[in-house]
Structure 1
Amino acid sequence: MPDSDTTDDSLEEQVEDLEEKVERLEEENQGRNQLEIRAYDLHIKGSSEDTDMGELLELFSDQMDGLMKQALVGEYQELEEQTLHGHLFGDD
């Protein structure tokens, strides 16, 4: 039967190995946060070394909302112009 000191040492070594692996993975992935959002024919794509994914998503979502609102306003303006043109020059 193994003594408890040997088991404790083994567990501590395993924990240290896992912590080192996690640190290496974090270092490898640092600076590689990339995000792309698409809606209809609009899309935003970007990356950051300093910003985490949650912050990127929030920032990009706000930008996408703004782009979608601008696109919608443009669509409505185009429809209004077509309707006005139809009223002025007759619907054919």
Structure 2
Amino acid sequence: MIALAVITLAPLLSSCAQNTKYITTTETIYVLPPVGLVVPCRKPRVTATTPAELAVDTLKLKSALRECAQYADDYLNWRKMKHKPD
């Protein structure tokens, strides 16, 4: 019985005799979001020369900011859904 245990464990013990491999370089892996999920924000130009035009340009800027913020919120919500704590 002891001989059988020695015969079956001998191959496992031989693996301990091998030299340890040291890793000397680090590899960085970048995980990017899917294409189309993060898009550039629209940036309207401010060309107003009168107070009335400035009001219109301000509304255009607020609309663009709201749209861009929605892209960021969508991405963050997607990321939260995909992230599974270990």
| Band the TM-score falls in, shorter-chain normalisation | 0.3 to 0.5
Q: TM-score, normalised by structure 1?
A: 0.37
Question: Highest Rg: 1 or 2?
Answer: 2
Q: Which has the higher contact order (CA 8 A, sep 6+)?
A: 2
